[in-house]
């Protein structure tokens, strides 16, 4: 009879150790979920940059197909099979595409211009900038901005657009 009374008087609840264990398990699960989400976001950014490279290349190929020449004159040097417009120099390549409509969807691309910072290409064009370099935010560090490199192969008369130097 005395044991039944003691059992009834005992308070129901969790011990401090049980609570700490539950919190630790929840923290581990939250860390795994956040880590996975960050990895998914980084992969999505990389895929978007790859997609932009393909779109820019296709715009250049379409321009060449319709006009019969590339939008920029490529300096020729004996023994040099490729020529690359690096970084901000890519504005020379993309300026003619921006002057004629239909080659680039301006809302998809970013640029970095003096006085405006990093803005959409569309916003830069609205502000009167006709020749601006095209780029992207670094997938590893969104605060860093890089420009696309455009490489022309003189032997095959082809073009590749690729990510710029991400140091």
- % of the chain surpassing 90 pLDDT: 38
| Cβ-proximal residues to 97 (8 Å cutoff; 6+ apart), any chain | 59, 60, 63, 71, 103, 104
CB atoms within 10 A of CB 45: 16
Q: Which helix (H) or strand (E) holds 57?
A: helix 16-67
Could you tell me the pTM of the whole model?
A: 0.77
- CA dist., res. 81 & res. 113, Å (int): 31
Condensed to tens digits (0 to 9), the pLDDT of residues 46-59 reads 999 999 999 999 99
Condensed to tens digits (0 to 9), the pLDDT of residues 66-119 reads 999 999 988 878 888 999 999 899 999 998 888 876 788 877 888 887 777 888
Residue 93, judged by CB atoms within 10 A of its CB (0-12, 13-18, 19+), counts as buried
């Amino acid at each position: 009879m005395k044991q039944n009374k003691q059992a009834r008087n005992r308070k129901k609840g969790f011990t401090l150790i049980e609570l700490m264990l539950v919190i630790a398990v929840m923290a581990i699960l939250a860390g795994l979920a956040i880590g996975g989400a960050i990895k998914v976001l980084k992969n999505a950014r990389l895929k978007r940059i790859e997609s932009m490279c393909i779109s820019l290349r296709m715009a250049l190929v379409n321009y060449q197909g319709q006009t019969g020449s590339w939008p920029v004159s490529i300096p020729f040097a004996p023994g040099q099979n490729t020529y690359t417009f690096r970084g901000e120099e890519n504005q020379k390549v993309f300026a003619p595409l921006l002057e004629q409509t239909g080659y680039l969807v301006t809302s998809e691309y970013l640029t970095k211009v003096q006085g405006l910072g990093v803005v959409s290409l569309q916003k830069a064009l609205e502000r009167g900038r006709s020749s601006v370099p095209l780029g992207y935010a670094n997938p590893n560090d969104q605060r860093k901005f890089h420009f696309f490199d455009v490489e022309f192969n003189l032997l095959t008369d082809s073009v590749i657009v690729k990510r710029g130097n991400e140091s």
